[in-house]
Amino acid sequence: MTLIRFVLVLLLASVLAFAADAPHPGLADQVNDIYPKIEQLYIDLHSHPELSMHETRTAARLADTLRGLGYDVTTAVGGTGVVALLKNGAGPTVMLRTELDALPVEEKTGWPFASREHAKDDSGAEVPIMHACGHDVHMAALVGTATLMVHDRQAWHGTLVLIGQPSEERASGAAAMLKDGLFTRFSKPDIAFAMHDGNNLPAGKVGFTPGFSLTSADSVDIVIYGKGGHGATPQDTVDPIVIAARTVLALQTIVSREINPQDPAIITVGSIHGGTKHNIIPEEVKLQLTVRAYKPEVRKHLLDGIARIARAEAEAANAPRPPDVKVIESTPAQYNDPKLVERIAASLRQQFGDANVVQGSPGTPSDDFAEFGQAGVPTAMFSLGAADPAKWEEAKKTGNPLPSNHSPFFAPDYNPTLHTAVVAETRVLMDLMK
């Protein structure tokens, strides 16, 4: 009898181990069952986008939906942030994040539910608004995942933390939520992960990058001061436009002559404004820069070098005062914990097959999801294919890229993208919390 019981225990253990590593075909069927509601939510969110730190309707929609599913929901965390908890016995605490905000972009997708929203930005200017970066996909997918996690509570244990983060586009929402006690007022997660859709992969595929995957991002404002006057008598002035021109060119030598070529680094001057008329030398010129890097020491060198060169060029021109150099928005590089990435990638391969889970290369966009890693939580961010597969193949053949995130023409193939996202997130959560 003892031997029979022992064999049965071994057999049961083998079956359970196989089940844990096998695909969950039922997930796709469950997504099909709830998909009409997920699509309806996606269309509503896409049609009503809101700017960073003004996501009041969006946050309320997400909070009400999660509360209706049985989550313990707190709003107004770090501004308009949403925190939803579902406790399900002893086990790990795992966090899944979505973003809430949209961009000041005029939509040109031609969709019948395209955004026609306008609002005043923080400077008071009237701007169009569009979900041009896929955050509407992320939110709808998170709700689908939240629904399945409630339905399948017997399959996992621990505490699920769902985050609706404001102001990702301005790289300030994650830090604001942390400052407001995200990891002290609520359960600090053992693991945090997120997915981001884009046309870099066709719908149905998921990408991963161990280690550094996204750069740090620093938005730098420079004001160069001069002495204004008549354009016909430049000898009586200190021309800030000339100083600005020399500064723009000199800034590029930081990357080309001061940084190891093996270390990626970017300094882009995206905006330069000065003057009002042909024959007037202005009092000042304003520059706006974006600065990107992976390594913290490279990032520091870039920022220090920008300030140094701006001051030196002003002093060389005998400017009446030093320039103002300010970092106004900032986020660190996203570092995907290699062990966590491999663990999640293994789950995704089991679910979707090796061909649909691909390793990618580090990219130069940024995401303040990185702040959660800086706060001491192992993090991983995965890429979610959003391109129509036929159009993606055609783009590969012709060399004409599909509209990228932030484009007014960005139009994800949302039906398969949402299906893949919900299946992927649910499978990962259940494997992490089984």
Indicate whether 178 pLDDT > 70: yes
For the chain, list the domains and their CATH numbers. 20-215+333-432 (3.40.630.10), 216-331 (3.30.70.360)
* 170 DSSP 8-state letter: T
Indicate whether 406 pLDDT > 90: yes
State the number of CA atoms in the 13 A half-sphere of 246 facing the CB: 15
The mean per-residue pLDDT over the stretch 315-335 comes to 97
The two tokens of residue 305 are 């070098």
Look at 17-26, 103-112, 164-173 and tell me which has the smallest mean pLDDT. Answer: 17-26
**SS (HEC) of 55-66:** CHHHHHHHHHHH
Indicate whether 245 pLDDT > 80: yes
Contacts 24+ apart (CB under 8 A), 59-63: 59/100, 59/164, 59/166, 62/98, 62/100, 62/139, 62/142, 62/143, 62/164, 63/164
71-103 pLDDT per residue, tens: 999 999 999 999 999 999 999 999 999 999 999
pLDDT at 13: 44
Give residues with Cβ within 8 angstroms of 352, minimum separation 6.
204, 205, 206, 420, 423, 424
The mean per-residue pLDDT over the stretch 407-418 comes to 98
pLDDT at 25: 57
Indicate whether 2 pLDDT > 70: no
Indicate whether 7 pLDDT > 90: no
Q: Check: CB of residue 60 under 8 Å from CB of residue 75.
A: yes
Indicate whether 352 pLDDT > 90: yes
Percentage of residues in the chain having pLDDT higher than 90: 93
Indicate whether 287 pLDDT > 80: yes
The mean per-residue pLDDT over the stretch 352-360 comes to 97
Residue identified by tokens 């001057």 is: 269
The mean per-residue pLDDT over the stretch 400-409 comes to 97
pLDDT at 424: 98
Q: Are strands 357-359 and 206-208 parallel, antiparallel or unpaired?
A: parallel
Per DSSP, the three-state class of 237 is: coil
Q: Check: CB of residue 216 under 8 Å from CB of residue 366.
A: yes
Q: How far is CA 380 from CA 176, 281, 324, 407, in A?
A: 20, 51, 37, 25
Q: What is the pLDDT confidence band of residue 26, given thresholds at 50, 70 and 90?
A: confident
Indicate whether 390 pLDDT > 80: yes
What average pLDDT does the structure give for the chain?
Answer: 94
Indicate whether 15 pLDDT > 70: no
Cα separation, 189 vs 380, whole angstroms:
13
Nearest to 46 by CA among 34, 35, 61, 31: 61
Per DSSP, the three-state class of 238 is: strand
Cα separation, 77 vs 378, whole angstroms:
22
- Would you give the distance in Å from CA 207 to the centre of its chain? 15
pLDDT at 23: 59
The two tokens of residue 169 are 């586009």
Q: At 415, which helix (H) or strand (E)?
A: helix 414-432
Answer whether 0.75 is exceeded by the pTM: yes
